Amino acid sequence: MSAVTESRAWPAEGLARVPYWIYQDEDVYRREQEHIYRGDTWNFLGLEAELPEKGDFKTTFVGEMPVVVTRDEGGALNCFENRCAHRGALLCLKSRGNTKEITCIYHNWTYDLEGNLTGVAFRRGVRGQGGMPEDAKPESEAPRKLRVATFCGLMFATLSEATPPIEQYIGPEVAAKIRRVMKEPVRLLGGYTQVLQSNWKLYFENVKDTYHASLLHLFFSTFRLNRLEQKGGVVVGGEGGSHASFTMMKSDPSGDEYERAGMRSASGGYALEAPQMLESVDEIGDGVTLQILTVFPGFVLQQIMNSLAVRQVLPKGVRRTELVWTCFGYASDDARMTELRMKQANLVGPAGYISLEDGAATGFVQRGAAGASERSSFVEMGGRTVESNESRVTETSVRGLWQQYRRHMGL
């Protein structure tokens, strides 16, 4: 074994250590594209509600691969590579729209909404001159088609035939938590994108990390939205790749561990000038005020009080990640409920009262570990294994991520 491969072996401690080269190596990044995004995983594409009509399309990404998602004339969803069979140009330049066919702007080759090549400009040449040979088969380089699966109005795609059915992939416990939020038809409210100066896995770890929420996010703990003494738990499923964490509203008034420990996040007597910001409705009826859920490799579902959103985590290079947020409510919402959701949407997003700090924290790790590729992070909160837990003082779902990741990467 060469020195290079030796130093790139996973630490002997297993899931309780994560080597920093995993966030830094170009070679790892390239292999992730092949083994994870173009391998046997389900990649989140967006909400079905984004494509309500026949002919609707959107463009997005599966890893770095650009894709087009369409609803065809038969009403079926399709996903194919956004790459022209001819010389590889993007087929579709718009982020969304409605169309009957897709025409590549470079030399006008045309495609139907299933991604089939339907026309080659001047294929027979002009006045008997030029054109393609009789036996040319340009469809052989046609954009690859992905399998599409929907679950509770969420669209996923995979290039692999080996990817298990979507619900099995997510796992039954986490699938039930998706159903809980996606309980009825949704209405889109809007969205935003955010660029993170860190590797995609640092963000995915952050969302799965239940331990940081009340310590990093002062807004959470100061206004008692999420403190670790509140009742809650973590469910890990899908061979470690999926998780859902949840918090119940009422905190135990008998004690305040944060003040006792003199933490930065103790309240310090602050109060909101506009407390209506935090008024919420128990619309699902189970007293869960906060649920954060992930599905490997890039899906996040958020319920923070009445602020509902999906997030898509897109890798854009070793040290850069794009986060696409789509906020939604239910089609049955009245104007008051929509306003409440919009108000609470201020908690999240690039400048959200809560999530603003996540973007910073993942960048701090990327920068802090820049000279320590041979060292590892220490992930032993809640033990060294992966299982569901009633405590959120645990890194069990972070270890779950690495369990799934290592399986795909053969590490």
Please say which residue, 107 or 367, places its beta carbon nearer to ligand FES.
107
Closest C-alpha to 229, from 249, 205, 201, 257: 257
**Does 87 contact ligand FES by CB under 6 A?**
yes
DSSP-derived letter for residue 362 is H
Nearest distance, CB of residue 245 and Fe ion, angstroms? 11
Residue 302: which residues within 8 A CB-CB, separation 6 or more?
A: 291, 292, 293, 308, 309, 310, 311, 348
Round to the nearest angstrom and report the end-to-end CA distance of the chain. 15
Among 32, 81, 358, 395, binds Fe ion (CB under 5 A): 358
Q: Which of 106, 122, 364, 378 binds ligand FES (CB under 6 A)?
A: 106
Which 8-state DSSP code applies to residue 302? E
Pick from 77, 104, 318, 347: which binds ligand FES (CB under 6 A)?
104
- Sheet with 56-62, side-by-side order of all strands: 43-47, 154-158, 145-151, 77-81, 65-71, 56-62, 96-98
142 binds ligand FES (CB under 6 A): no
Q: Residue 7 corresponds to which tokens in the numbers above? A: 């130093």
Is residue 64 within 8 A of residue 33, CB to CB? The reply is yes
C-beta closer to ligand FES: residue 92 or 292: 92
The tokens describing 134, both together, are 């009789």
Identity of the residue, 87 or 124, whose beta carbon is nearer to ligand FES in the bound complex: 87
Task: Answer yes or no whether residue 205 interacts with Fe ion by CB under 5 A.
Answer: no
Residue 86 binds to ligand FES (criterion: CB under 6 A): yes
Q: How big is the site for Fe ion, counted in residues (CB under 5 A)?
A: 1
Least distance to Fe ion, CB of residue 41, Å: 24
Q: Which residues pair with 61 in a beta bridge?
A: 66
The sign one gets for the Cα dihedral 394, 398, 399, 404 is positive
Pick from 11, 31, 89, 277 the residue near ligand FES by CB under 6 A. Answer: 89
Dihedral sign, Cα of residue 100, residue 102, residue 105, residue 109: negative
Cα dihedral across residues 43, 45, 154, 219: positive or negative = positive
Comparing CA positions, the residue from 207, 408, 182 lying closest to residue 293 is 207
83 binds ligand FES (CB under 6 A): no
How many helices (H) and strands (E) the chain has is answered by 11, 19
- For 185, counting Cβ atoms within 10 Å of its Cβ (0-12 exposed, 13-18 middle, 19+ buried), the class is exposed
In the complex, what is the shortest distance from the CB of residue 97 to ligand FES, in angstroms, rounded to a whole number?
18
Binding segment (CB under 6 A) for ligand FES, from list 6-14, 85-93, 123-131, 175-183: 85-93
Residue 193 or residue 373: which is nearer to Fe ion going by CB? 193
- For the record, the structure tokens of 189 come out as 């409210």
Q: Does the protein bind ligand FES through residue 68 (CB under 6 A)?
A: no
Helix, strand, coil distribution of the chain in percent, nearest 5 = 30, 25, 45
CB of 72 to ligand FES, least distance (A): 21
Only one of the segments 79-87, 129-137, 243-251, 328-336 lies at the binding site for ligand FES (rule: CB under 6 A); that segment is 79-87
In the complex with Fe ion, the residue whose CB is nearer, 146 or 309, is 309
Contact region for ligand FES (CB under 6 A) — 25-33, 104-112, 333-341, 390-398? 104-112
204 or 328: whose CB is closer to Fe ion? 204
Give min distance, CB of 55 to ligand FES, in A: 21
Q: Which tokens go with 279?
A: 């008024």
Least distance (Å) from Fe ion to the CB of residue 334? 31
Contact between 107 and ligand FES per CB under 6 A: yes
Instruction: Give the one entry of ligand FES, Fe ion, none that residue 107 binds, where binding means its C-beta sits below a cut-off of 5 to 8 angstroms depending on kind.
Output: ligand FES
- 316 interface partner picked from ligand FES, Fe ion, none, CB below 5 to 8 A per type: none
Other Cβ atoms within 10 Å of 399 Cβ, number? 28
**Rule CB under 6 A: which residues touch ligand FES?**
84, 86-87, 89, 104, 106-107, 109
**Rule CB under 5 A: which residues touch Fe ion?**
358
